[in-house]
Chains A and B, each alone.
Chain A
Amino acid sequence: KNEVEQSPQNLTAQEGEFITINCSYSVGISALHWLQQHPGGGIVSLFMLSSGKKKHGRLIATINIQEKHSSLHITASHPRDSAVYICAVRPGSNYQLIWGAGTKLIIKP
C-alpha cells in the first residue's frame, strides 16, 4: 500500500475553475509539503503544513491531522497553473520526504 495517495491522478479544467487536489497518507507525520513540478522537471515548494491552513496568492492548502488528509486548492485557475502537483510527507522526526505520485493538472484557456 502506498503511504501517500493523491487524487485525482489527472485533472483537466477550464480557465477560471476552482481546483481541488487531495492527498491522504497513512503514516504519522511532522509536516506535509505541497510541491509543483513543471514539464522541464524542476520542483518548487509551495507549502509546508503541520496544521490548519495556509494561503499564498490563489493557492490554499489545508491539512486535517486526525483524518490524515490534506487538500490543495487553486482559485481562479489559469493555464500557467498547468503542472504536476505533488504531496510529500515528512514522517516523524525523519529528514526524508515520502512522495505521492502527483496530480497532473491541465488548465485550458
Chain B
Amino acid sequence: EPEVTQTPSHQVTQMGQEVILRCVPISNHLYFYWYRQILGQKVEFLVSFYNNEISEKSEIFDDQFSVERPDGSNFTLKIRSTKLEDSAMYFCASSEAGYAFFGQGTRLTVV
C-alpha cells in the first residue's frame, strides 16, 4: 500500500537552531500538507502546497516557517529559528481527490 514517509521520526534541537523536516509524499499525489500537534492538543493546519506553491497557510505559519519541494519526491518544512513552543509532532500528508494519507510524524523537541 502506498505510504507517506517522514524523517526523522524524532529530532531534538536547541532553541534558535534551524530544523528541516522531510517528507516523501505518495508519488502521484498533487496536494501536500503540513500539520502539527502540540502535546495534548488538537492537530492544527499549517500549510498546503499545490503546483509548486503554497495554496493556503494558517496564522501559525509565519515567517519563520517555509516549505519547499526541492526535487520531484521530497517535501520539506523548514523552521528557521526554533522556539520552545515549536515543540510538537509534525505531520505531513498528501492527497489526491481529497482523501489524505498521513505520515507517521516527526516529533520535534526544542530545548
In the complex, B74 has a CB within 8 A of chain A: no
> Do most interface residues of chain B lie in helix, strand or loop, or is the interface mixed?
strand
Q: Given A31-B98, A44-B102, A90-B98 in contact, is the A101-B50 Cβ separation under 8 Å?
A: no
- Please determine whether B102 and A45 come into contact, CB atoms closer than 8 angstroms: yes
What is the count of residue pairs linking A and B with beta-carbon distances less than 8 angstroms?
55
Alpha-carbon separation in the docked complex, A102 to B101 (Å):
18
Q: Is A66 an interface residue (CB 8 A)?
A: no
Q: Which of A14-22, A68-76, A91-99 contacts B (4 or more CB under 8 A)?
A: A91-99
Q: Which of A31, A94, A99 contacts B43 (CB 8 A)?
A: A99
CB nearest neighbor in A for B97 = A48
B18: chain A residues at CB < 8 Å are none
**A-chain residues with CB within 8 Å of residue B55 when the two chains form the complex:** 95
Give chain B's interface residue range (CB within 8 Å of chain A). Answer: 20 to 34
Q: Do the beta carbons of A95 and B91 come within 8 Å of each other?
A: no
Please give, as numbers and ranges, the residues of chain B lying within 8 Å of A102 by CB-CB distance: 42
> Size class of A's contact patch?
20 to 34
B56 within 8 A of A: yes
The interface of chain A, by Cβ under 8 A from chain B, is 30-31, 33, 35, 40-45, 48, 86, 88, 90, 94-102
Residues in chain B within 8 A of chain A (CB atoms): 31, 33, 35, 37, 42-45, 48, 50, 55-56, 58, 89, 91, 98-105, 107
- Extra 12 A-B pairs, beta carbons < 8 Å, given A42-B102, A96-B33, A97-B35: A30-B98, A31-B98, A33-B100, A42-B105, A43-B91, A48-B99, A48-B100, A90-B98, A96-B58, A97-B43, A97-B100, A99-B44
